[in-house]
Each structure stands twice: as C-alpha cells, then as structure tokens.
Chain A
Amino acid sequence: MNTQDNVSALRLEHITKTFGSIVANKDVDLQLRYGEVLAILGENGSGKTTLMNMISGIYHPDEGQIYIKDQLVSINSPKDAFEYGIGMVHQHFKLVDVFTATENIVLGIKEKGRFSIKRSAAKIAEICGRYGFDLDPNKKIYEMSVSEKQTVEIVKVLYRGADILILDEPTAVLTPQETDKLFNVIRRMRQDGKSIIIITHKLHEVMEISDRVAVLRKGEHIATVETKDVTESELTDMMVGQKITLNIERTLSENTPDRLIVSGVSMTNKEGVKVIDDISFSAKAGEILGIAGVAGSGQRELLELIAGLRTPDCGDITYVDPSTGNKVDLRKKTPMQIRDLGVRLSFVPEDRLGMGLVGNMDIIDNMMLRTYKNGNPLFLDRQPSRVLANDIIRSLEVVTPGATTPVRRLSGGNVQKVLVGREISSAPSVLMAAYPVRGLDINSSYTIYNLLNAQKKNGAAVIYVGEDLDVLLELCDRIMVICGGTVSGILDGRTAEKQQVGALMTKKKEARQ
C-alpha cells in the first residue's frame, strides 16, 4: 500500500465498475484532500457520474477500495455515505414539492431527543449565515426557483454534517449570476475545511473554482493536475484525447441538394427555459450531418421538433421532396400528418425502449408501429410485419430466440438493430439518429455505422447525433456543434480537428448575454 504525505479526505484505489459488457469505470485512482475543490472533468459517458454514485452509495464498485480519512470503508447505501460525511447533490433534485425548505432539510434524519422544528430552523439559519446561503426556510419548494431548490439540497447535506460534498453539474441549470453566487458559497465552504468535488464540463468554471482537476476519459482516469498549472486547451486535449483512427468507410458525396432546411427555430420547454435558440441549418441528400454537443444542449429537442413531436415557438422547418423538388412545411405537423404528406422521415430516438419501441411487445408488433394503419381499416395485418421482422433478424444478424420475443429481452445492440432496421425499412429520405451506438459493443456499433453509410449512399440525408468525437470526425461529412441550444459552429468533417470541436462544445454561454 502506498503511503501518502498527508491524510486525504477521500481516496479511491483501482475502482472498476461494469454494467454488462460496458465498462463505466476502469481502474480509477482518485484522491481528495481536505479543504480543496476538486473538479472532475470528462465528456459525456466518461464515467463521472458512475464514479460519484459509487462514493455516495448508489452503486457498489466491482473492484477496488474506497478510503475515507484513510480508513477502508464499504459504502452500501446513501445512508452509509451520510454516516461517513459524504453528501451528494444530484443533478435532478429530490425534494418534496409541498414541503417547506426546513421540512425538506430535516426529512428522514434521526436526531437525538425530541424533534423540534424550531431548533432545526435555528441550525439551518446558522448554516446559511456561515456560508452565505440566501434561503427562506419557510418557503415551499414548489414556489422556488431552480437555484433556490439547489440551495436547499446543499444545505440539506451540510445539515447532516457532510464534510465531503459532491456536486453533480451544479451550474447546468443556473444563470451566470446564480453561478457566481454558488461559487462564492463553495469558496466559503472550502475555507471552512470542507472538501468539495464538482462535476462539470464547462472549462472556464473549472479554471475559476477548482484547486485541482481530475480528468476522466472513457471510464479511465487520465490525470489529476493543479488547476493553476494548466490551460483550458491542455485540459481539452486531455479530455478528448488523441485522435483514434476507426476506419469507418466514408464516401465522398457529390451532387448534394438540400433535403431538410431548418431556419431560425427556437423553442421554450415547459419550465420556461429556452432549450433551442435560433438554430438554422440544412441537411443535404447523400451526406451525414453530425451533431455534436455536451448532453442536454438541445439535441434531443431539435430532433423531436423535426419529427413533429414538439412545436417550435418560431422558425421554419422545410422538407424538399426528392422526386418533385416541392417544398413541404413540416412545422406544427404531427408525425401522422408528416407521413400522410408523403415525407419519408425516419427517426431513431435516444430512448430506444421508451420511445422508439415498445419493450413488452414482440419484434413483429414493434415492426408494425410505423405501418399498422395500412390496409384493412379495422383489423391488423401482421403478415408484412412478420416478413419484415424475419428479414431484419436475418440481414442484421439480430440475436433473438425468434420474431415473437419481446424486444425488452434482447441485448442493447440487438434492440438497436431492430429499431434502426425498422426505421430504414421505409427507405427514408431523411434519417435522424440520436446516439444510435450508445451502450453498444464495437461490432454492433460498426453494423450501425454501415447502415447509416448505406442510407447516405442511397441518397438519404442522415442526421447523426453522437457523443464520441472520434466517430463523428470519421463518419460525418459535416459536423454541427451546438452549445446551450445554439449552433456554435459547423465544421467540415474531413478537416476538422478534435480540439476544435471540443472547444466549440464548451464555448462560454455568457458570450451571448
């Protein structure tokens, strides 16, 4: 066992965690000192959240040890984590809406003696005063802004005596002013001797708030460096890594007319947040347009807008018919109406079993989702779907006991083959795919790349939303980078550099405000 110069608040050694065939964390070592802010930096899917979930007792590592204050511990539940003084503030808040801040904070704590809400309120006021939180303890959660809710979450873990705080992308939901406020609080907590881990993929925030940065890439710990010794571009290099050649076939596309034109589209979600802000682009026939961006930058909403699942606040979505050249307005049309207009638009959504397929139905019935309306007005005709299901099972080598197996029982790769197979079976002229290889092994991934390439050769406009920059750079003809709901750049996939894409993905939001 290696000896440390000083005792660390938290130390991870050789942590490995796998989910089925996917390795989420591989042999990760990490050390957190007393009174420091450690930033954990990494792309989507680099294993940041999984790692933190193991520290906070939500998952249990397959291998490796966790030391708290140099004692080996076994954290089996979030309750254990609390007992070791670890408090995690999740991205999605876990608060009771109709309770006040105070009630939420004391919820579930067993304190000695009789419970007194007054005493608790005094303790909360003391915490708020010490760290400079701005919190009305009697306000109900449903009346609060996102930032206030976050404050409640942080005070909640402090109230329970946490001295190791983990903040999972705390700034993702905050305005710049609120972020500044949060950072002030974090600095005060650091002064008070608390150790803080902050997960983020915004580089300027890393530079601003952290003492050290740990970089993860594809589940592995790349390095931990002193923030003052590195620059943003060095961090980007570490985060995205060296370019790996994947040998994905990419044909040069010629004669590429516009197939789908999106201009000036904006959309506000139910919470009143502008998730898509004035996006314009065109997808051309016979090319693959890649969309890059950190998770939650508006990719999902954009594709759902085009597919007719959401309505934009403003802007136009136009489809150009390949045979006639006629323009069709897709805005404010439902998926059914879009299909009735003769638009061959296929969509492989991110959420395969929750949106693209019905998990409890068999492959045949899932094939029927797109075509069940055809034929007899009253009764289903399963025959064409049965033929299609068997075709796909054979040609895409879907591993399944049979066509009547519920798709939820197939492995991730085979589920995706079923979904992509169905979506390309209608010979689409626009094919949108969101994270189609997420969670898939190498072989299945290549099957999907080949299918997308085949569609491109057939003259379809393919829109590929991906997270692996290596793949985007090798597969796509053009790459559109989006950041915070806006297009931060459109690059040529053949000449673009990985660092260029990485920089655009984390471009400062404030530039616009």
Chain B
Amino acid sequence: MTEAVQKIKKPKKAWTPLFVITKRDTLPLVKRVLIRAAAIVAALLLCSVITLVVTGSNPLQIYKTMFSGAFGNSIRIVRTLYELSVLLVIAVAITPAFKMKFWNTGAEGQVLIGGLSTAIVMLTLGGRIPDWTLIIIMAAAATAAGVIWGVLPAFFKAYWKTNETLFTLMMNYVAIQLVECFLKIADKTGSNVVGPTTLSHGWFPQLFKTDYLLDVVIIAVITVLVYIYLRYSKHGYEISVVGESENTAKYVGINVKKVIIRTMALSGALCGIAGLLIVGGASHSISAETAGGRGFTAIMVSWLAKFNPLMMVFSSLLIVFLERGAGEVATVFALNKSFSDILTGIILFFIIGCEFFINYKLHFRKHSKEAAV
C-alpha cells in the first residue's frame, strides 16, 4: 500500500484561468453603439500611430484625404454611391441563405455567371432587337443563371447533406473558367476583357442624366423588398425557423428540403441580378474580375448588419468608404497601395473584434477561493 501512495504524482499547483468568458444578455442599444464607437476611435488612433511611425505623414491629413477620396466631388460621390449599392445588393442577396445558416460563399460565382449571361445576350442579340426587349432577355438570362448556380449546391445539401461552403466555393471557379472561355471566343485581341465597344447594346438608360442611378434605384427597391420578405412573409419565417433549428422545423412540419432549395433559388437569382446590374447597368464589359471579390466582402457586410437588409446600407457604406478612401490615400501620398490596405485592415479588425465585447463578458477570477486548502 505504501508503494501505491508513493506512486502518485505530487499534485501540481491547481491552475486557474485568469479570466472566464461568459455570454452576455443583449446589451441596451446605447451601450452597443458606445462599444462600436469606441472601437472605431481606437482603430483610428492606432492607425494614426502607425502612419506617423511608418510614413511620417500627418494622420489627420490622411483621414481628410480618405474622406475626399470617397466624397470629394460629385463624380466621386456618384461612384461611391454606385459601389455602395452593388455591394449592398450582393449582401442583401446572400442574406436569406445566411439567415437559414446556409453558408453561401458562392455569391462571387453567382454574380459572375449572371454577368456572363447578360454579356452573352448583349453580344448575340444586341442590335437585332429593340433595346428594351434586349434588357428583358438579359434580365431573364441573368436571373436564370443565378438560380442554377444557387440551386445546385442547395439541392445536394438538402438531399445528401453535402457541405454547402465548399460546394458554393467551387462553383465560383466554374464560373470564372466559363468567363475565361467566353473571353477567348469573343475577344480576339487577348485583352482579357470584353468591353463596351463589343457590348454596345442593351445599356441601361440614364436616370436624370446620371450614370448608374437606375442601378441604385433598382437596388434600393430590392433591399426594401428583401427586408419585408424576411421580416413579414411566411417564407421569411420558415427561413428563420430552419436556420435556428432544423429539428423544430421538422417538428412543426416545415418541409426543410423545400425551404433550403427555394431560399437558395432566391439568393442565386438576386446575385444573378447583381451581375446584370454591373454588366448591363454600369461597366458594359465582362471579365473574370467583374465581381471583383464583392461576393466575399458581401458576407462581411451582411454579418456586420446582423442580417438586417436596411442596416446593410450602413455596413456597405463603411466598407466602400474605407476602400475608396484608402485608394485615394495611396495615390495622393504616393504610398504603396499596401499601406492603405493595412489601414483598412486595422479598422475592420477593430469593428469586427468589438462584436466580441458586445456578446461576451470577461470575468476576472478571484484567487482567494483556491487558497483555502
């Protein structure tokens, strides 16, 4: 027996974590706003320090340049407004799927394939039929393509539980390859873009003699409609139930497969329309860069707004402002583009990171309890 007693390892000093993380109840609105504001201030301060140390430029000057890059003159304002609305419509498009906890990382491909379909229609039918019929066919083609890109992964998810994140992600590359293929056929110069000179028909009309304005109006309408759909329609309710708990959905008799497929059809269709708006309404060109990473940025926009389409106006404004402002800083101060990316990165890090403090609370452990032995 004594042997056994000796065998035991000396009990090491009981280790207690320095703090414990617990989930908070929902904070009052004022506190939530304050935490976010504090995060932005902290981010700007850190950015200032880094700017001073690395470049020696005046940080205030840099912020001023950022602002003027986004809102400096009417052309810039219109451009910012357009960028904001395109990002917004993609974020709004993926939101129904995200509310259902269907992690659609394929918005990029869905937008691209919508844009490609638009371009193909513009190229093949342009000039042969009146422009307004052409635009209707473009819209139909873009929507259909988006639906196909959205429904395919949904179908496999619903029936065979495949991983939707990987599936949608891979569909992006299929879309990119198809665009490349189209470029090889349609563009003999090898410039990797099929531009406005080739796609000369089916341009969206100007509204109040302003470019892009029609896009902005259409997107505003879509945003409000999706908000209403999610908040007040029976479909929206089913999406929430399926997203929160598939078991509950089955318990009340919701056809989960149907809801998954239907929602992704909608999500894909809206992404397809986003592609239409970019190609038909603004750039009149198609390349592998048409979606330009917005399909991924939109995920962040949607999350930051807590899946509320109306709030996404603000989160996409923030991101577009940062991007355009940072670009301007790089030009004006002759800094490397990477520097403005660093600033954008820091600001986003703080904004996303502060959500942790909104949802969780840190308790520091009292050490007195363990001392009594």
Contact = CB atoms under 8 A, between A and B. Distances in A.
Interface of A: 6-7, 34, 68-74, 76, 83-85, 307-309, 334-339, 347, 349, 351, 353-361, 365, 368-370, 372-373, 377-380, 409
A6 B248 contact: no
B373 A72 contact: yes
A373 B252 CA distance: 11
Nearest to A68: B8
Contacts of B16: 76
A339 B8 contact: no
Contacts of A378: 233-234
Contacts of B240: 358, 361, 365
28 contacts: A7-B1, A7-B5, A69-B5, A69-B8, A70-B5, A71-B11, A72-B11, A74-B14, A76-B16, A83-B9, A334-B253, A334-B255, A335-B250, A335-B252, A335-B253, A336-B255, A349-B251, A354-B245, A355-B245, A355-B251, A356-B251, A359-B245, A361-B241, A361-B244, A365-B237, A380-B232, A380-B233, A409-B25
Contacts of A336: 253-255
B3 to A, nearest CB: 11
Max count, chain A CB within 10 A of own CB: residue among B25, B234, B370: B234
Contacts of A85: 8
A74 B11 contact: yes
A34 B4 contact: yes
A7 B244 contact: no
Contacts of B11: 71-74, 84
Contacts of B200: none
Nearest to A351: B247
Contacts of A334: 253, 255
A31 B118 CA distance: 77
Interface string B218-255: 00000000000000111011001100110110111111
Contacts, number: 92
Contacts of A70: 5
B253 A339 contact: yes
A285 to B, nearest CB: 24
Max count, chain A CB within 10 A of own CB: residue among B8, B233, B236, B251: B251
Given A68-B8, A69-B8, A76 B233 contact: no
B368 to A, nearest CB: 15
Given A69-B8, A361-B241, 11 more contacts: A74-B11, A76-B14, A335-B253, A351-B247, A356-B248, A357-B248, A358-B240, A358-B248, A359-B244, A380-B232, A380-B233
Max count, chain A CB within 10 A of own CB: residue among B236, B244, B250, B252: B252
Max count, chain A CB within 10 A of own CB: residue among B232, B233, B244: B244
A368 B8 contact: no
B248 A370 contact: no
B4 A7 contact: yes
A335 B8 contact: no
A77 to B, nearest CB: 8
B329 to A, nearest CB: 41
B364 interface: no
A334 B295 CA distance: 38
Which 8 A-B pairs give the minimum distances between C-beta atoms?
A: A336-B253, A335-B253, A74-B14, A355-B247, A358-B244, A369-B252, A69-B8, A355-B251
A365 B251 CA distance: 15
B15 interface: yes
A336 B25 CA distance: 35
B234 A379 contact: yes
B6 to A, nearest CB: 9
A373 B251 contact: no
Contacts of A337: 253
A433 to B, nearest CB: 14
A202 B14 CA distance: 37
Contacts of A373: 234
A309 B244 contact: no
A69 B4 contact: yes
Contacts of B5: 7, 69-70
Interface string B336-356: 000000000000000000000
Nearest to A359: B244
Contacts of B9: 83-84
Nearest to A353: B245
Nearest to A370: B252
B255 to A, nearest CB: 8
Contact of B1 (A6, A71, A84, A409): A6
A379 B4 contact: no
Interface string B3-31: 01101110110111000000001000000
Contacts of A358: 240-241, 244-245, 248
